[in-house]
């Protein structure tokens, strides 16, 4: 997701006032993210705490909301940013992962600030900051999972306290 937001920052920089291009980027990038993440979710069932249908519904709602968020003129093409953050919050709640919930909540807040602020430099800065927050969250999750794996002799269950 960090790469997605780095791309969003580049799209915002290149598009300037063309908010339709930014919205299209977030819709396509969200679809690619879902298509890349789906096989991982299928191959790693221990990381899934809800049933498969719940994750499928989350993916479909996320993509539809990104489409809708991109079409609302008042959001200046940044609706997908807010939707992705909210999607990460929902996924974090399903996985019981506070790190994901915190990173998603930051993305939602940063997206709202960027929409309200209506400054290109602010949008660029907040997208880069969101990408950095996601990279830090991914590093933290990796650290927690590796520590849990070492402590349990190789088996990792995302429902363990160390995952949070």
CA 138 to chain centre: 11
The pLDDT tens digits of the residues spanning 106-156 come to: 989 998 898 888 887 888 888 889 888 888 888 888 887 777 777 776 555
Tell me the whole-structure pTM to 2 decimals.
0.69
What b-and-e string marks burial along 68-77, b requiring 16 or more CB atoms within 10 Å of the CB?
A: ebbeeeebbb
Domain count, the chain: 1
Domain that holds residue 26: 2-163
């Amino acid at each position: 997701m960090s790469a997605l937001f780095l791309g969003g920052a580049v799209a915002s920089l290149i598009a300037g006032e063309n908010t339709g291009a930014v919205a299209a980027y977030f819709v396509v990038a969200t679809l690619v993210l879902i298509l890349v993440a789906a096989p991982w979710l299928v191959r790693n069932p221990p990381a899934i705490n809800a049933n498969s249908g719940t994750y499928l519904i989350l993916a479909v709602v996320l993509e539809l909301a990104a489409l809708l968020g991109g079409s609302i003129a008042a959001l200046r093409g940044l609706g997908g940013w807010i939707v992705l953050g909210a999607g990460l919050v929902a996924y974090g709640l399903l996985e019981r992962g506070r790190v994901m919930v915190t990173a998603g909540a930051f993305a939602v807040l940063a997206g709202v600030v960027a929409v309200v602020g209506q400054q290109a430099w602010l949008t660029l800065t907040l997208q880069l900051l969101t990408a950095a927050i996601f990279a830090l969250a991914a590093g933290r999750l990796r650290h927690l999972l590796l520590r849990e794996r070492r402590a349990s002799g190789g088996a990792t269950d995302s429902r363990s306290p160390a995952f949070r």
